[in-house]
Structure 1
């Protein structure tokens, strides 16, 4: 799923199910030098057990546009 975050394309994996905003939602955010795939097992479990799931790629990682953010503070602000 592609989202618009601050005018740039940001990818979010949904755990193999379409995202449903009416469900309780869980957001997974990877650490530096990773991407959404580090959450593969967890996101699939939650998505198939009644949760809406978004596992985002931070800017400059895997499918998200933009330069990689250089600090933890910048990642938190994003």
Structure 2
């Protein structure tokens, strides 16, 4: 059931998902939300966090660093993080 509720997260930009996640954290930290609501927004927060993590991993995979030749001129690119 939670998957249907969080279906909209898949289409969110990183910035929008992070913004909503920050709002959820603030609400949970305030302690003002009733227990059932706290559980529901915590679960949504987990889905938002997973979405942000996925978007970051995708972005990291696309980043490359420029390699230089011995004379200091650009010679090509290689993955930024060679794990």
The TM-score bracket by the shorter chain reads: under 0.3
TM-score (ref. length: structure 2): 0.27
TM-score (ref. length: structure 1): 0.28
Question: Which protein is richer in strand relative to its size?
Answer: 1
Rg (Cα) greater in structure? 2
